[in-house]
Structure 1
Amino acid sequence: MKYDLPPPATLNAERIEQFDDDADVHALAEAATAAILDGGGFGWVKPPKAALLEQYFRGVLLVPERELIVGRMDGVIYGAVQLHRPSRNNEAQALAAHLMHHFVAPYARGHGLARLIIERAEEHARAAGYQVLNLDVRETQEAAIALYEAAGFIRWGTHPAYARVKGKTLRGHFYYKLLQK
């Protein structure tokens, strides 16, 4: 489905360390619900109740190894990604961070918000000294795959039984991007 929304006056992505008001967490849960219903729900096949999604996002902010990067159009959150850092005891993989749960609400797509969110996450990972950024995605997420490949992520493998959605087993692709020269 294509949405005919006017271009936003402002577009930005930022790391959130706390929700300053309930409007942000409500908007994030609503955007996540819309993305789940559209088939890009970062693991969920059916959206949980809004209260559970809000609790989930509040919990993300409490995990030391996670950063929540949100994308805003005209000040309203319409998408996000999580930057996962390796745990402190994982010295062997301390060079790499992982992007997870990237989504943009379907009614906010087509304005560059998904790309901006990824760019901001890369900046945070690079500034933290990570040398590699990893991510994985279901094969059915064609727009996301095109975005990641255009952003310089390199597909290194495919898992034949990556996910199960509505009774169908789907493949998934694994990507990496070198952040430091």
Structure 2
Amino acid sequence: MHQLIASPYNGMFLIARPGSKGGMRIPRTLYDELASIAESNSPLPAWLLDHARTAWKVDLAGAVMRDAVLVRPETRLGYGRATYEINKGCNFNCEHCYLAERKFEGLPWPDKTRLLHLLRDAGVLWLQFTGGEPVIDRDFVDAYTLAHRSGMLGEGAWGEH
């Protein structure tokens, strides 16, 4: 699983580490360098090793690009953030709740997968799951895992950002 994500974001390029705050803005030339070796067994560039050590206290020496860095391609749409209301269901377990019971009405898994791929292909880097109550959705863990493997970072109450 990737340790870092290199991604276009709102006209610039970023490197982020899932589960960590902060990131690194890089010029196009460095993004292009990473993209050119993304699927290879090449070692990580020295500048990236240094930054990972300094910013996140992680030593990636000996790691290879294809395993350590997910390089997300530029997209025509270039969206940076999205919110996905995964369901309208609720367990009515909040102390402040005043709503009447609502139907669950979440998408079936194939449609959730399609939606997450559309978000990835649109360039979404930060994805927030909402709902009624997102974690009671039967597919929440699988959806969150797919989003993470696709290079989207969680945001808000159910994410790492």
Q: Normalising by structure 2, report the TM-score.
A: 0.28
Bigger share in strand: 1
Larger Rg: 2
